Amino acid sequence: MRFRTIPASPADPLRVVIVGAGGMGRAWLATVADSPEVTLTGIADLDAALARDVADSAGLPDLPVGTDAAALARQTGAQALINATTPEAHHPVTTAALFAGLPVLGEKPVAENVSRALSMAAAAEVTGELFMVSQSRRWNPYLATLRGMITRLGTIGTMTTSFFRSERFGGFRDLMAYPLLIDMAIHAFDSARYLLDAEPVTAYCQSYNPPWSWYAGDANATVVFEMDGGTRYVYNGSWCSPGEVTSWNGTWRVSGEKGTATWDGDHEPVLDAELDAGEPADSPNFGIAGALQAFVRALRTGQPPSGEVHENVMSLAMVEAAVQSATSGRLERLDDVLERAHAQALREETRADVRNALAGWSSVRDILAGTERMETR
């Protein structure tokens, strides 16, 4: 998608407001403070006292705070917004910012469901502002190295992720119907799309709760995705697996016609000795610092970044397809998931300009891939 550029640089840093002063808002505050390319003009939260407290604790007693992010951005001369609110607030906060002329870097998941995510993609098109989702685990040099190794394996048959942790969070995750699929698996699904450079076609999921689980909803899930090109991606995970745990990134195995690559999630991936592994990826920034750097670079150059909303939606669609399959007991086609979400977005959209943009999409998949826009505009 073409979007408005802003020539930010260390000499003229991008002025941003952070919205959401919770755990991730504080992480973004520290990341912005460390970046020479960005400067903070304010923090917004529904709880203004919390925003004040977070600013004061960061040694910024004079930093403006408020409850309305777009208004605070206007008052403080901000040029962009970092949205670290809870998932159900992503749509209203980001849409208001885009229509206020602010590009947005938003936390994952893009929205609480695919329908709302499609509305946000259409809002980005209508406004011509960049909306990028920070899918933090994509910004990992080991993942980039593994991606390079995969190109040496020929056709890929199977890729697997094992994710086994024993986490006692308390709070909302203990009460959700699908805590593993909705809160965590999106990171692996997004990495799988990136690693294989392929999009999902179908999903089959069994989601279940072991007898000893301390979660109300399903803490375990096994999902098989068929990716385009025929590769099967298998995700096998648990939030309540006492004993030896895997990395937070999971452990990965990629099996192709010429060999195998493996990654323990925390160290350099390993390729069969007889294959040339190529150069390790040159990517200095991990996690949200990597996302912030990509956002500023994209605004400067006009090149769509990894995580641009259209590109990101399919990762959430994988979650939605897995949940729908777990519920129906059937194999779900991603195209059907996208079409149902599109119909829901059209039914629920309250802005006429965004509804018109959504109504103009003949194929959601092509719109997300960028191919329909290239053909028709």
Nearer to ligand NAD, 24 or 289 (CB): 24
Query: How far is residue 320's CA from residue 114's CA, in Å, rounded to a whole number?
Result: 7
**Any residues with CB less than 8 A from the CB of 312 and at least 6 apart, and which?**
108, 110, 117, 132, 133, 135, 190
Instruction: State phi, psi for 166 to the nearest 5 degrees.
Output: -130, 85
Least distance from ligand NAD to the Cβ atom of residue 116, Å: 13
In the complex, the smallest distance separating the C-beta of residue 305 from ligand NAD, rounded to whole angstroms, is 16
CB-based burial, 340-366: b 16+ in 10 Å, e otherwise: bbbebbbeebeeeebbebbeebeebbe
| Residues paired with 66 in a beta bridge | 44
Closer of 25 and 217 to ligand NAD (Cβ): 25
In the complex, residue closest to ligand NAD by CB: 22
Query: CB of 20: closest distance to ligand NAD in angstroms?
Result: 4
DSSP classification of residue 171: G
CB nearer ligand NAD, residue 295 or residue 361: 295
Least distance in angstroms from the C-beta of 220 to ligand NAD:
20
Side chain identity at residue 323, one-letter code: V
Residue ranges in contact with ligand NAD by CB under 6 A: 19-25, 44-47, 50, 84-87, 89, 93, 107-108, 136
Q: Are strands 14-19 and 38-44 parallel, antiparallel or unpaired?
A: parallel
The smaller minimum CB distance to ligand NAD, of residues 67 and 301, is found at 67
Please state whether beta strands 200-208 and 156-164 pair in parallel, antiparallel, or not at all (unpaired). Answer: unpaired
| DSSP-derived secondary structure letter, 184 | I
CB of 296 to ligand NAD, least distance (A): 18
SS3 81: strand
| For ligand NAD, the closer CB: 44 or 78 | 44
| CB of 348 vs ligand NAD, minimal distance in Å | 18
Q: Toward ligand NAD, which CB reaches closer, 87 or 256?
A: 87
